[in-house]
Amino acid sequence: MTSRTRSAETAALAALLLAAATGCAGGSGPAAGTTTPGAAAARTGVPSAAPGGASAPTGFTLVASGDVLPHDSVIRRAAEDADDAGYDFGPMLAGAKPVVSRADLAICHMETVYGEGGGPYTGYPAFKSPPEVAAALGATGYDSCSTASNHSLDDGAAGLRRTLDALDKAGVRHAGSARTAEEAARPTLLKAGGATVAQLAYTYGTNGHPLPEGQPWAVKLLDADKVIADARAARAAGADVVVVSVHWGTEWQTEPDARQLSLGRALTASRSGGRPDIDLIIGTHAHVPQAYEKVNGTWIVYGMGDQIAGDMINHEGSYDPRGNMSSIGRFTFAPPRAAGGRWEVTRAEFLPQWFDTAHGRVVDLGAAAEGLDAHEAGIRDAIRQVVLGRGAAEDGLVTGE
C-alpha cells in the first residue's frame, strides 16, 4: 500500500458528487477455529459419521477478507466510537460479523503494525495502528490474520513484535511474520470441523525496509519455491488443507498482473503424490477488488480489496472509490472421498462489501442485503463484474448471503 487519504473537506465533496453520479448509473487461548463436529455438520451438510457408524471427519466453511488499513481518519473514527476513551474498532466491523462469526474458520489480513499502548498512532505513509484493532478482530470472529505485507516493517522489529503480541492477547492467530526463528519455522495450524488447516502468508516486499539485522525470518517474502516447500512441510506437520495468503499484485489494477498469474499457475500446479500441495490462495494489496479464478482445480482470489481504509487517493492523485470496495470469500470444504485424497471445495461464494467512510462502517452488499440504495447497488454490481471477470461463474462461484 502506497496510497494516502484525502482531507475531510475534499472527501465530503467527492463523496457527494460520487453519490449523485452513481445514483444515476447505479440503477443500471484454545486452538482457534475449533468447532464441534455437530455444529460443523449442521453448517456444511456433511454427515459426521460414515456408513456403518464409523467416525468420519466433518467438513467446514472458511471465510477470508481483505486488507485492514487504519488511516488517520479510521483511527479518529475508532476514537469517536469509544467516546474518546481509547479506540473501538468493533462498530466498524459489525457489518461483517454475521458472516465472519458463522464460519468455522475466518481469516483476515492485518496490513499494518501496532504502536505502543496510548500512542502516538499514525496513518500513511508509515503506519502505527492502535492495538485495539486486534481485540475488534477477535470479537468479530476472526481466528487468524495474515501479517505479511509491505508495511510489516514500518516500525521495525519492535512494531512487528507489538502486533503479534496484541493478536495473541486477543486470541487471534497469525501467519507471515515472526518474533523468533522457531516461530517462523512453525506453520500456523488451525482446527475447523474435522480438518487441520494450515495458513501460510507471504508478501512481495517491505517498501524497501530491510529485514531486521540477524532476523532474516522476521517477514516471509514471496517466492514460489519457498511457498511450495512450506506447504509440503505443513502437510508433514499434519495439515489436511493448506491455505496461502499472498500480499501481491499491482495497486489500483483490477486485472491480476503477470506475476500473479504466473505464480498462481505454479503454486496450483505443484503436487505431491498426485495431491495438490496448496488448496486455496487468497490475495491482498491491490486496494481494489480483483477476480476469483479456479486454476488447475484450485481457487485463487487474486485480490479481495480493502475491508477497512480511509477515502483512498490513487496514483493519479484522484479520489478512487474502488479503494473502499472489497469482497469476502467463503469456501465450503468437504472431506476426501478416499483416504489420502484432497479436501474438496464443494461451494465457492463471494460477498460484496463496501466501507462507508462517511460513517466508518463495513456495509454488507451480499445477496441477503436488503434495502440497498442506487449507490450501494452500483457498488455491488461493480464488485461483481470484477470478481466474475475471469469466468469464475462457470466454475460455480456464486454471490453469498
DSSP string, 296-310: TTEEEES--BEEE--
Backbone phi, psi, residue 333, to 5°: -105, 135
The identity of residue 93, as a single letter, is L
DSSP string, 148-213: -STTTTTTHHHHHHHHHHHHHHHT-EEESB-SSHHHHHS-EEEEETTEEEEEEEEES--TTPPPPT
Q: What are the pLDDT digits (tens) for 81-136?
A: 999 999 999 999 999 999 999 999 999 999 999 999 999 999 999 999 999 999 99
Residue 13 has pLDDT above 50, yes or no: no
Within its chain, how far is the Cα of 345 from the centroid? 18
Look at residue 28 and tell me whether its pLDDT is greater than 70: no
* pLDDT at residue 224 is higher than 60: yes
Mean per-residue pLDDT, 334-347:
94
Question: Quick one: pLDDT band at residue 33, thresholds 50, 70, 90?
Answer: very low
The SS3 of residue 265 is helix
Pairing of strands 188-192, 195-203: antiparallel
For the whole prediction, is pTM greater than 0.85? yes
What is the spatial distance between Cα 8 and Cα 274, in angstroms, rounded to a whole number?
55
All structural domains of the chain, each given as residue ranges with its CATH number in brackets, are 8-19+31-399 (3.60.21.10)
Q: Which of 10 and 309 is assigned the larger pLDDT?
A: 309
What was the pLDDT predicted at 371?
Answer: 87
Between 303 and 27, the higher pLDDT residue: 303
Q: How far is CA 171 from CA 75, 122, 128, 386, in A?
A: 22, 25, 21, 34
Q: Does pLDDT of 48 surpass 60?
A: no
How would residue 339 be classed by pLDDT, with cut points 50, 70 and 90?
confident
**pLDDT higher than 90, residue 381:** yes
Q: What residue type is assigned to position 137 of the chain?
A: L
Confidence check: pLDDT of 49 > 60: no
Nearest alpha carbon to residue 283 among 268, 311, 264: 264
Q: What is the pLDDT of residue 114?
A: 98
* % residues pLDDT > 70 (the chain): 86
* pLDDT at position 367: 79
Separation of alpha carbons 113 and 116, rounded Å: 10
9 vs 208, residue with greater confidence: 208
Under the banding of pLDDT at 50, 70 and 90, the label for residue 271 is: very high
Contact 353, 365 (CB under 8 A): yes
What single DSSP character describes residue 96?
A: T
- Chain center to CA of 234: 20
Query: Up-side HSE of residue 312: CA atoms within 13 Å toward CB?
Result: 26
pLDDT at 12 over 80: no
Identity of residue 171? G
Q: What is the rounded average pLDDT of the residues 259-274?
A: 97
Examine the pLDDT at 40 and tell me if it is beyond 60: no
Query: How large is the angle between the packed helices 258-269 and 224-236, nearest 10 degrees?
Result: 30
Please give the mean pLDDT across all residues of the chain: 89
Length of the chain: 401
Using alpha carbons only, give the angle 134, 292, 369 rounded to the nearest 5 degrees.
65
Would the pLDDT of 51 be above 60? no
Contact criterion met (CB below 8 Å) for 233 and 271: no
The three state secondary structure string of 328-354 is EEEEEEECCCCCCCCCEEEEEEEEEEE
